[in-house]
Structure 1
Amino acid sequence: MKFSIITLSFILVLIPLFISYKNKIGIEKELFINSLRALLQLSVLGFILGFLFKIKNPLWYIPIVLFMLIYASFIAKKRTQFLFLCAFYSISMSAIIILSIMITLKIISLKPYEFIPVAGMIIGNSLNTYTLTIERLKRELFLQKELIESFIAIGANLKSAYKIMQKEAIKAALIPVNNMLQTIGVVAIPGITTGMLLAGASPLKAVSYQIIIIYMLVSINTFSALFGSYFFIREKNENFN
């Protein structure tokens, strides 16, 4: 029964594949491969989580989180065609800061069924915002060549021109977060809240957990955009000099 539902749900992937092919958008191959990859990864995850949630020693979290960070950085490098280390530093620093704050404030504990899913959620969102930031910065640098040349012509610091682009990139990368904050609870019904309600939790408790996740996402996305733009601009500035 579950397998047949999964098979039928693949129709939802076939539709955008057909649209991409028909309109010659050129992303049908990537969508198809990534859809199958997601199915495989989630299937494997279902078996692995049973093992991970039995971990007693938090030191085992280090290789698990490190693997997540390396894999996310690899995807970011592939997506943005920019330095692996820039992605790794940006995503790692953002994740470490947010996880440290949440543990220190006892928002989450070091229990595996709390720490590991939250760490994955943080790293995944950090990856998304990082790639959006870098893509926007690359576009700004391409479109604003005249602005950069003007700054150089008047003897201004090149960082001033980069600063303007950094602000625009961060604003653009945070658009999904701002949309989420404006629509959640009105248009978007959070998955965690729905799941907890279906599991029998009280509405207040379900909403409180979702609020924590939302505020966490605001922070992680902001840090990712800030660190990503900083390392990108620093690298470009060093190459220019």
Structure 2
Amino acid sequence: MNSTLLNTGWPMWVMLAIVVGATGIITSRFLDLSAKKIFSAAGRALIQLILIALIISQVSTSWILTIALLLLMLGVAVFTSTQRIETVRWWVPASVIFGGVAPVVELMFGFGVLPVTPLAVIAVIGQLIGGTMSATNLAGRRIEQELSQRAGEVEAALALGFPENAARNLVGRPVAAEALLPGLDQTRTVGTVTLPGAFVGLVLGGASPLEAGLVQLVVLINLLAVQAIAVSLLAMMIERKIGVRA
């Protein structure tokens, strides 16, 4: 009987070494991105995935450890966003990531969609935190760049009598929406262009394609929602200079 799981034997390691090496060469030669960053990212991914697999195997029987792991995920996401968005204090990304994820997770629990089990909670909430972090980083950096490059337009709006937050809104809000485009495109093209990770993982794990598709639908819709909430909150806070470094 053929297994639906991917082959993780030695050929996989050879293939990954070739792919990572080729990616490093391409990015360093054609995209002005150091190959070292590609190798570092791949190495960190390997170490972190091994560690998280070992950790999850232990925390799946303890709610205390489950909550601790989720807090660690949130902390790493906040730290990463604070590094990416240089003009805001750490509690700004903390607020918007938590503010985006919390209400959606509450709805999932309220309607009984998300099982109250450690593994399900870690898998779903972890994915929501990661997706929200990515959108937050992209939105924050784009707003920063736009406000810096188009400072004259902000000053012109102020001269015309606009409140400061409204003047900054005119420049920052349109580009903030760009952070939602990757998630929006993925949702619109799912099943036709892309087969996302949750769907593929469930099918490989033995779930029926229909069950996998419904689970993926829940993940995509909720991910789009948390990203929209987080990006909106971030744009509002930056426009009003809440938590923005002088």
Do the two structures share a fold, i.e. TM-score over 0.5?
yes
* Native 8 Å contact 2:59 2:66 kept in 1: no
Query: Which amino acid in 1 is paired with 2:149?
Result: L
Aligned-pair CA distance for 1:163: 1.9
Structure 2 portions without partners, runs of 5+: 1-7
Q: Which residue of 2 aligns with 1:77?
A: 82
Tell whether 2:58 aligns with 1:36: no
Q: Which residue of 2 aligns with 1:52?
A: 59
Aligned-pair CA distance for 1:238: 7.2
Aligned-pair CA distance for 1:158: 1.4
Query: Which amino acid in 1 is paired with 2:129?
Result: I
Tell whether 2:175 aligns with 1:169: yes
Tell whether 2:128 aligns with 1:128: no
How has the CA–CA distance of structure 1 residues 121 and 237 changed in structure 2, closer, same or farther, with 3 Å as cutoff? closer
Relative to structure 2, which stretch is displaced further, 189-198 or 166-175? 189-198
Tell whether 2:71 aligns with 1:66: yes
SS in 1 for 2:173: helix
Q: Which residue of 2 aligns with 1:156?
A: 162
Aligned-pair CA distance for 1:3: 4.5
The whole-number CA distance in structure 1 between the counterparts of 2:170 and 2:13 is 46
Tell whether 2:186 aligns with 1:180: yes
How has the CA–CA distance of structure 1 residues 116 and 239 changed in structure 2, closer, same or farther, with 3 Å as cutoff? closer
The whole-number CA distance in structure 2 between the counterparts of 1:96 and 1:141 is 29
Aligned-pair CA distance for 1:4: 4.5
CA displacement, residues 3-62 of structure 1 (integer Å, 9 cap, x when unaligned): 54134313222222112322471332222212111110001112111111122xx34443
Q: Which residue of 2 aligns with 1:146?
A: 152
SS in 2 for 1:174: helix
The whole-number CA distance in structure 2 between the counterparts of 1:200 and 1:237 is 47
CA displacement, residues 142-174 of structure 1 (integer Å, 9 cap, x when unaligned): 222121111121222112222223431332101
* Native 8 Å contact 1:169 1:229 kept in 2: no
How has the CA–CA distance of structure 1 residues 150 and 89 changed in structure 2, closer, same or farther, with 3 Å as cutoff? same
Query: Which amino acid in 2 is paired with 1:64?
Result: L
Tell whether 2:101 aligns with 1:92: no
CA RMSD across the alignment: 2.1
- For normalisation by structure 1, the TM-score amounts to 0.89
Query: Which amino acid in 2 is paired with 1:65?
Result: L
SS in 1 for 2:241: helix
* Native 8 Å contact 2:92 2:243 kept in 1: no
Relative to structure 2, which stretch is displaced further, 216-225 or 23-32? 23-32
Tell whether 2:29 aligns with 1:22: yes
Aligned residues: 238
Among 216, 234, 240, the residue aligned to 1:234:
240
SS in 1 for 2:67: helix
The whole-number CA distance in structure 2 between the counterparts of 1:64 and 1:80 is 24
Higher helix share: 1
